[in-house]
Amino acid sequence: MNKFSPVKAAFAVVMLLVSMLCAYKASAQTKADEAKMNAFVSNLMGKMTLDEKIGQLNLVVMGNAVTGTVISKGVEDKMKRGAIGGIFGLYGTANVKKMQDLAVNGSRLHIPLIFGLDVIHGHRTIFPIPLGVSATWDLGLIQQSATIAAKEATAEGLNWVFSPMVDIARDARWGRISEGSGEDPWYGSQVAKAMVKGYQGKSLTDADAVMACVKHFALYGGAEAGREYNTVDMSLIKMYQDYLPPYKAAIDAGAGSFMSSFNTINGMPATVNKWLLTDLLRKQWGFKGFVVSDYTSLNEVTNHGLGDLQTVSALALKAGLDMDMVGEGFLSTLKKSLKEGKVIQQEIDLACRRVLEAKYKLGLFKNPGKSLNAEKEKLDVFTDDTRKFARQIAEHSFVLLKNQEQTLPLKKSGTIALVGPLADNHSEMLGTWVIAGDPNKSVSVAEGIKNVVGDNVKVLYAKGSNITDDSLLSIRAFALTAPEAKDKRSPQEMIDEAVETAKKADVIVAVVGEAANMSGESSSRADIDIPASQKDLLKALAKTGKPLVIVLFNGRPLTLTWEDKHASAILDAWAPGTEAGNAIADVLFGNYNPAGKITATFPRSVGQIPIYYNHKNTGRPFDGKGGAKFKSDYLDISNDPLYPFGYGLSYTTFSYGGVQLDKTNLEGNTTLKATVTVTNTGKYAGEEVVQLYISDPVASISRSVKELKGFQKINLQPGESKVVSFNITTADLKFYNDKLIYDWEPGQFIVQIGTNSGNTQSASVQWLK
């Protein structure tokens, strides 16, 4: 081996030089491209009037994506005057082409528009909700979902998507927990990177690429009481350590735009928060893109008590907001504010420049209609391939929460009682935040079972209940959509029919849970149980003594203590998307062995909220033993969640050996190798998400009890073992101290590896500087 070492060394040197040369060339090219862009934008701005510059800061809404109480008016007239910079809510080649032609050919300077839309979990082909997608723990699938969504979106003329939502959420009452990746900052950062890369591709100038808009900046998921649009108040350490990392990760991945959030931060609304939009985002993190407000969030600053529309518009511009969504505060007040000295010309110019740079980066000045291709719209949207992928990612997102006595997978024979208001339902398959998806093209659970097992299984169907019989919940949940089609029978008549149906079957499959509009924006819930009408149905079915399989639709963690106690099996399907029924049937009958793991803790009771795995210890921690007083516990329930972060079962079982470290004493910037042997001890081939956590038991501030720092998804055949290794560096030990310095401190560290945050093997290491 030694005689080859000089050759290897020389090769390594050559490769290093090649790498350095490539990096130098890339840097030089980037600088040249930036210089070219700056020259172009400066030349264009030199021709623009003040009104035209302000017009670039105005984003209007058309079409079907109205998510507020204000609707844009006089759009075509404003466009001719150069008073609009972009449109959202409009899609389809013909619709977009009409407006883009009007902007380019009908305005004085021919400046193209940017077209945006809420493309959240697919465009036409709908994938599971983001919380469900995150449960795949498969970054390749996650990135591919964004790539496919971008391809469909651009095929219909779009070039900007209001996604990903990277807000950390620890409160299941908050409706928009459905739109993010859960509670963990490290994992949320990995998902943020994957989504941005999927949307933006290799180059924003590519016809299939869209510019990502990261939201909601910032801390929106920390809203008090889990109530939409509510106040956020937290320490700086909590911000930097637990909530801000995914936003920074999105910047590192190249995200082109950000969206300000509705909430306040340190008493200052995010949309007018200079510390947030300028000091942190641009000066500390180096973000070079543009920032758009959320829907009329600028106007709503007046409700926070900071002044009239002119006053808050000036505050927003000075804070670093570049584009005003729908409210037209910039359009209607900035010229007056400039005359009165409340803003300066340079501030208007800077915001205009950032918007124009985004359009330049997208290649719209060279080709305003780069994605406008009627043939592409026919070929690239809602294809057999996109539906195949939708089925695959849905299967991978499902989480098996319980499987008593191997109830699942079901036999491909016998008789099934298929019950529940979501069992033979198309409209609720897609989930929340779907603009362009067609529920009529979704696959229901009843159809999926028929497609997968045909006539081999006899299926007896009974609806059993409405989604909800609560009139207030129904009115509010279905306020923007067609109301639930209520069955004319009484609740008891429906339950009686379901029970009689169940008595004739070998097993009951109850498809229950939340309607799509019970989560998402403006859909917070104080009670996160399954709606009472469906709970009554489940209780009646359980009394039959037949095996009860619950297929759960939900946009958030629910309180499932009764269900966990009485159901034979629980499969969390979230809201699976277009291929819902096919994917669910594949998993129920064992064509795919579920491997999803939850990314948000499921509480036992709403009274435990907020609940999350990486909490701090208290001075009086509860050790779990009964009868103790003066400890941090509840009198009536356990501190522990029902299902911890990272939890998810399989049709097979896995055993973990002890954690092995290649060294137990380290010093300086070296690498620690931690390994564990994982064995498939069951009868089915299956995937397992092996999770790495690190604890820092002694530090200069109180640290989290553990933090996720890595994972690997492996596939094992029955009886097969695999050694899983993690390379740990000092970067994995860093945290923000009381001076907000991001660094690591020497001492003891506990390395934990396991199947979820509550079930790990551990080993200790001493690591000195």
Task: Give the tens place of pLDDT for each residue, 209-253.
Answer: 999 999 999 999 999 999 999 999 999 999 999 999 999 999 999
Q: Is the confidence at residue 752, as pLDDT, over 90?
A: yes
Reported confidence tier of residue 67, pLDDT bands at 50, 70, 90: low
CA count, 13 A, side-chain hemisphere, 482: 6
Q: What is the helix (H) or strand (E) element at residue 7, kind and residue range? A: helix 5-45
Segment 735-757 shows an average pLDDT of 98
pLDDT, one tens digit per residue, over 86-102 is 999 999 999 999 999 99
Q: Yes or no: say if 551 and 520 are a contact pair by the CB < 8 Å rule.
A: no
DSSP 91-146: -SHHHHHHHHHHHHHHSSS-PPPEEEE---S-SSS----HHHHHTT--HHHHHHHH
| Residue 1 in this model has a pLDDT that exceeds 50 | no
| pLDDT at residue 364, as a whole number | 98
Contact 693, 705 (CB under 8 A): no
Residues involved in catalysis: 294
Element holding 356 (H helix, E strand): helix 345-361
pLDDT tens across 579-607, in order?
999 999 999 999 999 999 999 999 999 99
3-state percent breakdown (helix, strand, coil) of the chain, nearest 5: 35, 20, 45
Greatest Cα-to-Cα distance within the chain, rounded to the nearest angstrom: 86
Q: Per-residue confidence at 668, pLDDT binned at 50, 70, 90?
A: very high
For 198-216, how does the pLDDT look when each residue is reduced to its tens digit (9 = 90+)? 999 999 999 999 999 999 9
Instruction: Kindly state the tokens that stand for 767.
Output: 């690591």
Q: What per-residue confidence (pLDDT) applies to 194?
A: 98
764 strand-pairing partners:
750
- Percent with pLDDT over 70 in the chain: 95
* Average pLDDT taken over every residue of the chain: 95
Rounded to 5°, angle at Cα 432 from 174 and 234 = 25
Q: Which residues pair with 292 in a beta bridge?
A: 259, 323
| Residue 294 β-bridge partners | none
List pLDDT tens digits, range 538-573: 999 999 999 999 999 999 999 999 999 999 999 999
Helix (H, G, I), strand (E, B) or coil at 554: coil
**CA-to-CA separations, 685 to 399, 407, 616, 650, 660, in angstroms, rounded:** 16, 17, 37, 10, 25
Q: What is the pLDDT of residues 473-532, one digit of tens each?
A: 999 988 888 888 899 999 999 999 999 999 999 999 999 999 999 999 999 999 999 999
Reported as a single tens digit per residue, the pLDDT across 303-352 is 999 999 999 999 999 999 999 999 999 999 999 999 999 999 999 999 99
Cβ neighbours around 539 below 10 Å, total: 13
Q: How many residues does the structure list for the chain?
A: 769
- HSE-CB of 163 using CA atoms within 13 angstroms: 33
Sign of the Cα pseudo-torsion (12, 18, 22, 25, in order): positive
More confident residue, 698 or 8: 698
Which pLDDT score, from 0 to 100, does residue 12 have?
63
SS3 track for 310-335: HHHHHHHHHHCCCEEECCCHHHHHHH
CA 315, CA 308: separation in Å to the nearest integer? Answer: 11
Dihedral (CA of 248, 285, 230, 299) sign:
negative
Residue 610 has pLDDT above 60, yes or no: yes
What percent of the chain clears pLDDT 90, i.e. is strictly above it? 90
629-656 mean pLDDT: 96
